[in-house]
Amino acid sequence: MLKKLLFMLDTGGRASPFDITMAYDAGFDAVIPYEDVTPRDAKSLTQDAMFSRSPKAFKSTCFLISGRDVLKAEEVLRAVKSAMFPPFETSVVIDPAGAYTTAVAIVAKTEDAMKSYELGGLSGKKYAVFGTGPVGITVAEILTSLECEVTVAEPNPMLNSDYLLQHEAFRDVLERHGAYLHGVSAPTSTDKTKVLQKANVIFCIAARGIRIIEKELLKKLEPTKVMVDLNAVPPLGIEGLELKDYMKEIVPGIYGIGALVVGDLKYKLQKAILQDACENQTPTIYDHKFALQKARKMLIEVAPPTPKLAETK
């Protein structure tokens, strides 16, 4: 029987044990990691894999592009796509350091919660993203591509306001969606309050074990706001919000979603995408756009009836 192969093309120096485990659990017979992969490497590796099988058999080969640098991962994706040609085509998953599936899980779970609690969808709202790592920038990319207004806030006091303008991934999003994207430095309580007051939905996606929002800041805000914390390491990013909370009223009119609620969807989403890539014989690019549609569908299929906010008080 033809083996299902997954070649991991990692732009960094270490392939992720998490991704390797997920790939085997998704059904691949073998997972072969390559590290420090450049676009040139990617083209050569792709064509080596292509010509070792017939066009039909090549569809049982798949590529996963990873690594912490989102822009490098996208460059490798372009190289892999350019290396293939009919009839030698197969599926490619891009999920740099899990940032795409994590960012999608954050956005999709928030969207689902707002709709369930009759707060509307994603559009027409202002968003604040605290954190400028791969996940934070990808959240900004997804939201700005949907024409949502987003402020990316850097909470690290060691990084000044010029940092974001020097941040390659931020600049890349800014060039494509500049009308909807803003970047600010927000290391102090005063800076954070200004950002929080202007936003309807707030995401804390900063470093692990760092508290970004104190409860005293929340008391200064007008209702109704939704906050999401991705930090699962104490102290958590938002004071008063626990890991498993789902639309908990932290202070009057401020509702929160905890890290494990997002994490559960992220895990299921990444596994579902890898399973689809393993089983699908139609060449597909599994990027964050595909992941968002997949996550939305998953939430519709499994969502139980949810009470309105008025019924939870």
Distance of alpha carbon 48 from alpha carbon 178, whole angstroms: 40
Give the tens place of pLDDT for each residue, 114-124. Answer: 999 999 999 99
Calculate what percentage of the chain has a pLDDT beyond 90.
Answer: 91
- Tell which residue, 200, 199, 232, 196, has the closest CA to residue 214: 196
Give the tens place of pLDDT for each residue, 148-160. Answer: 999 999 999 888 7
Q: Would you say 248 and 241 are in contact if contact means Cβ atoms under 8 Å apart?
A: yes
Q: Are strands 246-251 and 30-34 parallel, antiparallel or unpaired?
A: unpaired
Residue 310 confidence (pLDDT) = 52
Range in 77-91, 115-129, 233-247, 299-313 with the lowest mean pLDDT? 299-313
Instruction: Please state the domain extents for the chain.
Output: 5-98+265-302, 100-262
pLDDT (mean) for 2-11? 97
Report, in this order, helix, strand and coil percent for the chain, each rounded to 5.
45, 20, 35
pTM score, two decimals? 0.94
Q: Report the C-alpha dihedral over residues 99, 141, 182, 185, rounded to 10 degrees.
A: 10
Is the predicted pLDDT of residue 306 greater than 60, yes or no? no
Q: In the structure, what pLDDT confidence band is assigned to residue 305 with cuts at 50, 70 and 90?
A: low
The yes or no reply on domain 5-98+265-302 and CATH 3.40.50.10280 is: yes
Residue type, 116: S
pLDDT (mean) for 239-245? 97
Query: Right CATH number for 100-262 from 3.40.50.300, 1.10.10.60, 3.40.630.10, 3.40.50.720?
Result: 3.40.50.720
